[in-house]
Amino acid sequence: MNSTHNPKLPSTSAASMSSDFQQNQHNGLQHLQSQLLSTILRSNKEEVIWNLDEGVVKVTNALHNKKVLLVLDDVTTWQQLTALLGPQQFYPGSKVIITTRHKWLLTFFEVNPKVHAIEELDPNDAYKQFSLYAFNRDHPIEPYTLQSELIVHHCSGLPLALKVLGSFLNGKTVDVWEDAMRKIEAIPNPKIQKLLQLSYDTLEETSDKELFLHIACFFVGEDKAFIVKLLAECNLYPIVGIQNLMDRSLLYIENGRVMMHPLIKEMGQDVVRQESPKDPGKRSRLWNHQDSLCVLKENGVSI
């Protein structure tokens, strides 16, 4: 992001800020404002900020007078951008890099930002990354080759899953690998689940959450027009809802069909499963034929 004003000769500062805090608490944002100012001003003590508005003014003045490289990691709200960037009065040559799960936040900027979407790893790179964590080398060792191929296929190119599972299985015996594979096919890994679920948890509208769970359980791969027509009758506002889910990278459209990464789909189904882990009849949705059969039998339905 560049601006074209301020005749002062700048010094250059670099700062990396993580938005990993309770985003609705002003104290968390004020603390990040203080950290950012201290870094830009190269101060050994943290700058005192009494409220967010004061912090915005101080941050704006600092960014206005220095060429900076600023990295904001895992941004989730418009308020965070406002608090840490102010009205975007950057010194010429400044660069701002933002990582976020929420594409709609890009509308914050007055100029068109350069957007880079993180792609899934191709099979060869995924195989190498998994091996680095599982074997400390770029290829599997015997007798783990088959199990490695199955796990890499299960992760579908998601770097986070490859890292978590590779690190967990490092040094384990073959029987542990085989049992772990059976387990992750039945029950999602909790570390992966927790991180993937962040995008779902930050959905603001209940209707968007319901729409996501419906699609994850029943409609992945179905025609978008069919889903819109069907779920509009359920007052889920699927046209705007699907766009909101796309903005959070929870789904995508391919050849007119609504698609999800396999682990995102698995995460959504696990959200429903956790409503009642041991009693499928108490869950809001049933998509597994074995669970459905058990519930029907328990309710006295003849099969």
Strand partners, 259: 252
Confidence of residue 17 (pLDDT cuts 50, 70, 90): low
Cα–Cα separations (whole angstroms), residue 129 to 139, 150, 160, 174? 9, 14, 10, 20
Instruction: Please state, in angstroms and rounded to a whole number, the distance separating the CA atoms of residues 31 and 148.
Output: 44
pTM of the shown model: 0.71
Per-residue pLDDT, 224: 96
Let me know how long the chain is: 303
Contact criterion met (CB below 8 Å) for 94 and 68:
yes
Per-residue pLDDT, 230: 94
Q: What value does the mean pLDDT of the chain take?
A: 85
Per-residue pLDDT, 18: 59
Rounded mean pLDDT of 109-130?
Answer: 86
Confidence of residue 22 (pLDDT cuts 50, 70, 90): very low
Rounded mean pLDDT of 214-228?
Answer: 96
